[in-house]
Structure 1
Amino acid sequence: MKLAYKLYSKENPEGNSNPPDQANILILHGLFGSSKNWVSIAKKLSLYGDVYTVDLRNHGDSPHSEEHSISIMVEDIKEFVQDHSLQNTILLGHSMGGLVSMLYDLLHPGSLKALIIQDISPRPYPFAYDKEIRSMRIPIDRANTRAEVDELMREVLPDAFIRQFLQMSLERKPDGGYFWKLNVEGLSKARYMFEDVFLPDMSSRTKALFIVGGDSPYIKDLDRELILSVFLKAEIETLAGGGHYIHYTHASQFLDRIERFIKGVLD
């Protein structure tokens, strides 16, 4: 599948294109997200190379499909890397995008320069997003304003932060009303996408940084042991007080840690 993306090019003093010894940084968003979630981070990371923020299938401007799994998204990313002739690639993935990034690395050993994973572990996760799906199934095709859409969603999904996150994929129709760019029905049928992704004997020697939220429900004590047993050159950084969206809630600390890691990888 040909994925939609945004490119944030590295600007060199001579005005030349990105030299081959620089990094290509590929950012993969989480479930219900898109490339829109990573604009600020991408702009700052373009100091170190070309940055590609990708819309995974069924998200953003990428095509919709009835097929949605971690393994098939790995194939999409493989196609993307080949189509753009990317070398010295650093994969940065959040949540679902982190699972895709980890599996890509494990299935293509030695192909990545480095791996950066935000708040997810190489294990099965339940599909705990029924409220999100229900809130996006509410008819909004005749809503007049975003505030009206938000009020409708609030009855199903009380968490204002999550509603705002979802509404980044909300678009207004030319003739009035709104629609979701997300493939809501397709994603609702992919309830098992987070299960049986990783095999017990998988391991990687890619340089890796795992950044996790200190208060995140996605990372348990056993996850830290698991990460280090699978990714043999990994380091884990915990952002105190952070949850699952630390690239937003703790953006400065998040970016600072990533920059230090990338500098070390490129030295």
Structure 2
Amino acid sequence: MELSYREFGENTNISFIILHGLFGSSKNWITNAKELSVMGKVYSLDLRNHGDSPHSQEHNLESMVKDVREFVLTYRIEKPILIGHSMGGLVAMQYAFACPKDLESLVVVDIAPRQYSFDYANEFRALQIDVSKFQSRQKIDVEMAKILPDSFLRQFLQMNLEKSDNGYKWKINVDALSKAESLNISFFDKEYKGKALFIRGGESEYVTEEDIPLIQEKFPNASIQTIPSANHYLHYFYAKEFVQVVTDFVRSSG
């Protein structure tokens, strides 16, 4: 599958590939990508069923890894630093296990190599709203607020809205994503010995203290950094700190 992407920076000996999380897109990473482009070329991808990339009823880690590898080979990106957040982090870890020699290093953002419950019932309920009958985002937001009281989550999902001839439509493939099984499979019995950085939010429940030994087991050359007050969306709320942690890692690894 040919993925849509945004490109930042100039060609140097450093390249980054950014993989967003569930319901996200390359649009969510523009600020971070621009900051990282000071060091080199940045490719921020739209994973399948997200952003401007094609839709498919198949949505699992294997297919997403295949898509990303196809992108790497098509654009002849040598030794990229692969950055993945949440779902994108699972894809990045799977890629590192499958094709370790492809990568310069790995950055995993607020996700661990373990099983997670696929519990997004309210988000999918909000995405089931027929947005084609609305003529304004404000009215869509009022309707979504009945299901999702968290204004940030609503705004995050609404970044997937696109104006159509009859109101609005969702850019993401809601049907395929809602039918996708848990993205975790048994690949976590593998090991990646390359350079790796795990960044977690101090207020996030996605990477706990109990996960640290598991990360160290599967990624023996990994360092783990915590942004103390950050939640799961640390790259958004703590963009400056996030970019600094990644920059320090890249420079120390070089």
Q: Matches of 1:101 and 1:108 in 2, distance apart?
A: 10
Q: Matches of 1:199 and 1:206 in 2, distance apart?
A: 15
TM-score, normalised on structure 1? 0.93
Q: Is the 8 A contact 2:24 2:51 kept in 1?
A: yes
Q: Is the 8 A contact 1:31 1:97 kept in 2?
A: yes
**What is the match of residue 187 of structure 2?**
198
**What is the match of residue 142 of structure 1?**
133
Dislocated runs of 4+, deviation >4 Å:
none
Q: Matches of 2:214 and 2:57 in 1, distance apart?
A: 32
**What is the match of residue 5 of structure 1?**
5
Q: Matches of 1:137 and 1:204 in 2, distance apart?
A: 39
Q: Deviations over 1:169-205 (max 9, x none)?
A: 11111x3411100000110000322x324242x1111
Q: Matches of 1:50 and 1:241 in 2, distance apart?
A: 30
Q: Matches of 1:199 and 1:141 in 2, distance apart?
A: 41
TM-score, normalised on structure 2? 0.97
**What is the match of residue 174 of structure 2?**
184
Letter of the aligned partner of 1:212 in structure 2?
R
Q: Matches of 2:38 and 2:186 in 1, distance apart?
A: 34
Q: Matches of 1:162 and 1:111 in 2, distance apart?
A: 34
Q: Matches of 1:198 and 1:48 in 2, distance apart?
A: 32
Among candidates 73, 94, 97, match of residue 85 of structure 2 = 94
Q: Is the 8 A contact 2:113 2:188 kept in 1?
A: no
**What is the match of residue 14 of structure 1?**
none
What is the percent sequence identity of the aligned residues? 46
1:178-257 paired onto structure 2 within 5 Å: 178-193=168-183, 195-200=184-189, 202-257=190-245
Q: CA deviation at 1:87?
A: 0.4
